[in-house]
Chains A and B, each alone.
Chain A
Amino acid sequence: MKRVFLFVPLLAALVVGVFLFAGLGKDPTTLESVLVGKPVPEFSLESLDDPDVTLDRSVLEGKVSLLNVWAEWCPSCWDEHEYLSYLAKEQGVRIVGLNYKDQRETAFRFLNRLGNPYDTIIFDPKGTLGFDLGVYGAPETFVIDAEGVVRYRHVGVVNEQVWRQKLLPAMNDARGNG
C-alpha cells in the first residue's frame, strides 16, 4: 500500500512534463484571432488610389479574398511583397490591401518600386479598421470568404510555406471545396 505512494512524484512529474512538452513547440507571439468566424467589422474609409472613393465592407464580399495589412514603414511587408505579387498574378488570388497607419505619398513610393498586387487598397492612416480587426503588428493577412466573414488570420510574412500550409487550405475551405 505504502509503496504505491512512492510513485506519486513520478506520476506528477510525468503529467507536468506532458503539459510542458506540449507547450514547447508553440510560438507565444501568435495569438488566435477572435474575429475568425465573424464578419469583417463595419468601416468607411477612403480608397488609397482615389480620396473621393469611399470603401466599406462590401469590397470584401462576392469572392474569397485575402486581406493583407501592410505599410511602407513595415520591413517585413517589403519581404513578403514579391510573394503576394506572385499569388495575385500567377495564382489569380484576389488580394485586398489595407494600408495601415501610412501616408499616401510613402505608400505610392512603395507600390511604384515593388509593383501593385492589390485588387483594391483601403487607406487607413489612423489604423481604425486595423484596430477593429485586432491587428497588432503588420504584416497580417486575413482569409475572407465570399460573405465577408473572416476565416483565418496569419500574423507575419506570407511565403510559400505559409501559403501552402495555412492560407490555401483556409481559402479552399472558404470556397467550400476543402
Chain B
Amino acid sequence: MRVFYAALFVVLAFAGQASADVAEVYDFATRAEEQRYQQLISELRCPKCQNQNIADSNAPISKDMRDEVYRMMQDGASNDDIVGALVDRFGEFVQYKPPLDKRTIVLWAFPAIATLGGLLVVVGVIWRARRRGGEPALSAEDRARAEQILASQSKSDRQR
C-alpha cells in the first residue's frame, strides 16, 4: 500500500509539473476578465502544433500568442479585435470556429442539410408504408405457397 501511495504521489507531482509549464501568471482585475481570457485562449489554435489550442500548447509561438491576447485585453480590445489581430497574422487557421461567409456556408449548413435529408427519407418510408397499408403483405397465392412450405418443413422435423 505504501508503494501505491508513493507512486500516486509521484504521478500527481508530475501532473502538477506538466500544467505548470504552460500557465504564466497574469493579473486580471476581475474574475470575469480572467474567464474571458481563458475562453479566448481555448478557442485559438496553435499554428505550430496544429491540433492543440494555445491554452494547452507549450510551443513558444503559443506563449507569444497568449501574451498578445493578454496585452490586447489590457488595452481594452474586444474579443473580435483580438481574434482578428491574430487571424491577420497567422490566417484563419488559428480559429477553431470558422467565420460564417460564402466559402464556409456549406460547412455550416451541412448539419441542417443532413438532418433535413434524413427527415425526408424517414417521411418517404412512412408515407410509402401507409399507402401500402390497405393491401395485404402477401397475395393469396404467395400465402398458400408459404403455408405449404411450412407444413412440409414441420413434417420433416417430426420424422427426424
Residue positions of A touching B, CB distance < 8 A: 28-29, 31-35, 101, 127, 131-137
Partner of A137, one of B48, B68, B88: B48
Contacts A134-B90, A136-B61; is A31 near B47 (CB within 8 Å)?
yes
Q: How far apart are the CA atoms of A33 and B88 in the complex, in Å?
A: 9
Q: How far apart are the CA atoms of A29 and B59 in the complex, in Å?
A: 15
Instruction: Collect the chain B residues with CB atoms within 8 Å of residue A34's CB.
Output: 87-92
B93 within 8 A of A: yes
Partner of A31, one of B60, B64, B68, B93: B93
B39 within 8 A of A: no
Q: Are A136 and B47 in contact (CB under 8 A)?
A: yes
B50 within 8 A of A: yes
Listed A/B pairs (15) with beta-carbon separation below 8 Å: A28-B50, A31-B91, A32-B91, A33-B91, A34-B88, A34-B89, A34-B90, A101-B60, A127-B64, A131-B64, A131-B68, A132-B89, A134-B89, A134-B90, A137-B48
Instruction: Collect the chain B residues with CB atoms within 8 Å of residue A137's CB.
Output: 48, 61
Q: Are A131 and B89 in contact (CB under 8 A)?
A: yes
Partner of B91, one of A28, A127, A134: A134
Apart from A127-B64, A136-B61, what 8 extra A-B contacts exist at CB < 8 Å? A28-B50, A31-B93, A34-B91, A34-B92, A35-B89, A101-B60, A131-B89, A133-B89
Q: How far apart are the CA atoms of A137 and B46 in the complex, in Å?
A: 11
Q: Are B91 and A29 in contact (CB under 8 A)?
A: no
Q: Are B64 and A29 in contact (CB under 8 A)?
A: no
Instruction: Collect the chain A residues with CB atoms within 8 Å of residue B64's CB.
Output: 127, 131
Partner of A136, one of B68, B88, B90, B92: B90
Q: How far apart are the CA atoms of A175 and B110 in the complex, in Å?
A: 44
